[in-house]
Structure 1
Amino acid sequence: MVGQVTANTLFTIGYEGAVVDDFIATLLKVGVQTVIDIRDIPVSRRRGFSKSALSRHCVDQGLTYVHLRPLGDPKEGREAARAGRYEQFHTIFSTHLGTLSAQSALSEAIKIASDSISCLLCYERDHRFCHRNIVAGEMKRLGAFTLKHIGVPQGR
């Protein structure tokens, strides 16, 4: 499947319900080279998905791992999304994305994704309800990427 991926392809993925081996296998299958973790707080109750463990798993499989915390959804945005207040979530995150630190991280993400086939990582399985969809949309607009939202088989 790597042959079908172009240099300007940007993937997004959520690990909700996944196990780390399946997650890594999914990334490798589509040709991802760099995982861009855009969680505000990169810890997880899901085994293997906290920052240090996930970074080790990625490196062990030849993937580059980068954490760009400024692109994470702030607490208020996460709370609004969890409560199903998606318009409020979108407003909160869009405002956050306009901050200097988020804009700097967005530029860094665009550079990384321009240099290697990359995948934005967050928790939510469905990209439509996750801030990574907003980040990916901005990266597409500014960096002319083709977006592909991929999923991981449900955990065992």
Structure 2
Amino acid sequence: MGTSDTTAVTGTLISIGYEGKTVDYLVAQLLQQDVRVLIDVRLTPLSRKPGLSKVKLSEALAAVGIGYVHHRALGNPKDNRAGFRAGEPQSRARYRDVLESTAATDALAHVCELMDGGVVALLCFELDHAECHRDIVVRRLMKERPGAAVVHV
């Protein structure tokens, strides 16, 4: 990494949504933030936008040296998304319960491990992290890494 500040020790977490973006623009933003690994937190990593489904996205990232990991266990159930975006407390609580599963706990631990190797980005659809379950994932990760830097792109 080449820096001697605390970021090297505690990590940097990027929260990014691809809403309204092309795959090329997304990749450029990730490169600008020095992302080493992108964690896809969509339950189902499919998109109607060209290049943003799992296989094409992972290929575009690999072409510029960025790793790709899909953590399905960190996805928000489809029937919970509308309520979540609307800020409904029961939808937020339901997603927090999702993060209590063994698979989600293991996925969160893996994200923390990846942060040891450089900048990690969490990806989902919503541009505004406050409307996306990424917000809760970031908050949970910050409990494990209170000194980490968080950047919402």
Q: Is TM > 0.5 for Structure 1 vs Structure 2?
A: yes
Kept after mapping to 1: 8 A contact 2:37/2:68: yes
**Equivalent of 2:42, from 26, 39, 43?**
39
**Residue number in structure 2 paired with 1:16:** 19
Kept after mapping to 2: 8 A contact 1:5/1:30: no
**Structure 1 residue matching 2:69: 3-state secondary structure:** strand
**Residue number in structure 1 paired with 2:107:** 105
**Residue number in structure 2 paired with 1:131:** 133
- CA positional deviation for 1:5: 9.5
Provide TM-score, normalisation by structure 2. Answer: 0.90
Name structure 2 gaps, 5 residues minimum: none
Number of equivalenced pairs: 148
**Equivalent of 1:117, from 116, 119, 124?**
119
The separation in 1 between residues aligned to 2:59 and 2:75, in whole angstroms, is 21
Kept after mapping to 1: 8 A contact 2:84/2:133: no
**Runs of 4 or more above 4 Å deviation:** 2-5
After superposition, residues 76-91 of structure 1 pair within 5 angstroms as 76-82=79-85, 84-91=86-93
- CA positional deviation for 1:85: 4.5
Kept after mapping to 2: 8 A contact 1:86/1:129: no
Question: Partner amino acid for 2:17?
Answer: G
Kept after mapping to 2: 8 A contact 1:77/1:88: no
**Residue number in structure 1 paired with 2:52:** 49
Say if 1:117 and 1:139 are closer, same or farther in 2 by CA, change over 3 A: same
**Residue number in structure 2 paired with 1:154:** none
The separation in 1 between residues aligned to 2:96 and 2:16, in whole angstroms, is 20
- CA positional deviation for 1:33: 1.0
CA-based RMSD: 1.8
- CA positional deviation for 1:111: 0.8
Kept after mapping to 2: 8 A contact 1:5/1:31: no
Provide TM-score, normalisation by structure 1. Answer: 0.88
- CA positional deviation for 1:76: 2.7
The separation in 1 between residues aligned to 2:39 and 2:78, in whole angstroms, is 20
**Residue number in structure 1 paired with 2:72:** 69
**Structure 2 residue matching 1:115: 3-state secondary structure:** coil
